[in-house]
Amino acid sequence: MAAQAGLPILASEIEQRVAFAEGMTMGQTIFEWAGDSIAAREIEQLTKEIERYVEEDIFSGSEAEAAANG
C-alpha cells in the first residue's frame, strides 16, 4: 500500500532489542545508553537512509522548481 501511494519502502530493519528497553528505563537514548551496540547501529542506519531520501527529495524538488521557472 505504501508503494502504491508513492511512499518509499525503507530497507533498514530495527529489531526488538533489550538495549532499547533498558535505555528507556534509564531515561536515555540508545546512543547514551549503549552507543556502541547493534541497536545503536540499526538506528544510525535508519537515520542515514531517511537523510538520503530527504536529500533526494530536496534535490529533485529544486530541479523541478528550476525547470518550472525556466
The residue extents of the domains of the chain are 37-70
* The pLDDT value given to residue 8: 80
Task: Say if residue 69's pLDDT is above 80.
Answer: no
* pLDDT number for residue 67: 59
Q: What is the pTM of this model?
A: 0.76
Calculate the alpha carbon distances from 26 to 39, 42, 43, 58, 70 in Å. 16, 20, 18, 37, 55
63 pLDDT more than 70: no
* Cβ neighbours for 57, distance < 8 A, ≥ 6 positions apart: none
When pLDDT is cut at 50, 70 and 90, the band that residue 11 belongs to is very high
Q: What's the pLDDT score for residue 1?
A: 77
37 with 23: CB under 8 angstroms?
no
